[in-house]
Amino acid sequence: MSLEMFIQHFLNALTLGSLYGLIAIGYTMVYGILRLINFAHGDIFMLGAYFVFWGGALFKLPWGLAVVAAIAFTSFCGVLVDRAAYRPLREAPRISALISSIGVSFFIENLCIVTFSAIPRAVHVPQWLGQVHLIGKVRLLPLAVVVPIVSMVLTSGLLWIVYRTKPGLAMRAISKDIETTRLMGVPVNRIIAITFGLGSALAAASGIMWALRYPQIHPFMGVIPGFKAFIAAVLGGIGSIQGAVLGGMLLGFIEIMIIAFLPALSGYRDAFAFVLLIAILLVRPSGLMGEKLEEKV
Partner 1 sequence: MSAERKKLLSVAALSLMALFLWWAQGHLDGYKIQILNLVAINIILALSLNLIYGFTGLFSLGHAGFMAVGAYVSSLLILPAAQKETIFLLEPLVWPLSVLQAPFFVAVLAGGVAAALFGLLISLPVLRLGGDYLGIATLGFAEIVRVVANNLPGITNGALGLKGIPHYANIWWNYGWCLFTLYFIVRIVNSNFGNVLKAIRDDETAARAMGIDVLRCKVISFALGAFFAGVGGALLASLLTTIDPKMFLFLLTFNVLMIVVAGGLGSISGTVIAGVVITVLLEWLRFVENPIDFGPIHIPGIPGMRMVIFSLALLFIILFRREGIMGMREITWDGLACACRRGGKDRG
Nearest CA among 250, 292, 251 for reference residue 273: 251
Q: Which of 10, 107, 121, 286 binds partner 1 (CB under 8 A)?
A: 107
Q: Which residues contact 192 (CB under 8 A, 6 or more apart)?
A: 33, 34, 82, 87, 174
Per CB under 8 A, contacts with partner 1 among 84-103 are 85, 88-89, 92, 94-96, 98-100, 102-103
Which of 223, 247, 222, 250 has its CA nearest to residue 233?
Answer: 247
Per CB under 8 A, contacts with partner 1 among 258-277 are 267-268, 270-271, 273-275, 277
CB atoms within 10 A of CB 154: 19
CB distance 21 to 151 below 8 Å:
yes
Q: Which residue, 139 or 286, has its beta carbon nearer to partner 1?
A: 286
Alpha carbon distance 125, 123 (integer Å): 6
Q: Least Å distance between CB 39 and partner 1?
A: 9
> Tell me, what DSSP letter sits at residue 238?
T
Which range, of 1-9, 60-68, 106-114, 140-148, touches partner 1 by CB under 8 A? 106-114
Closer to partner 1 by Cβ: residue 88 or 126: 88
285 interacts with partner 1 by CB under 8 A: yes
At closest approach, how far in Å is the CB of 77 from partner 1?
15
Taken in order 156, 160, 163, 167, is the CA torsion positive or negative?
A: negative
Contact of 283 with 297, CB cutoff 8 Å? no
| Segment near partner 1 (CB under 8 A); pick from 35-43, 144-152, 169-177, 247-255 | 35-43
The verdict on 166 binding partner 1 (CB under 8 A) reads no
Q: Is residue 37 near partner 1 by the rule CB under 8 A?
A: yes
For residues 246 and 240, give the distance between their C-alpha atoms in angstroms, rounded to a whole number: 10
Site for partner 1, rule CB under 8 A = 35-37, 85, 88-89, 92, 94-96, 98-100, 102-107, 109-114, 117-118, 223, 227, 230-231, 234, 267-268, 270-271, 273-275, 277-278, 281-282, 285, 295, 297
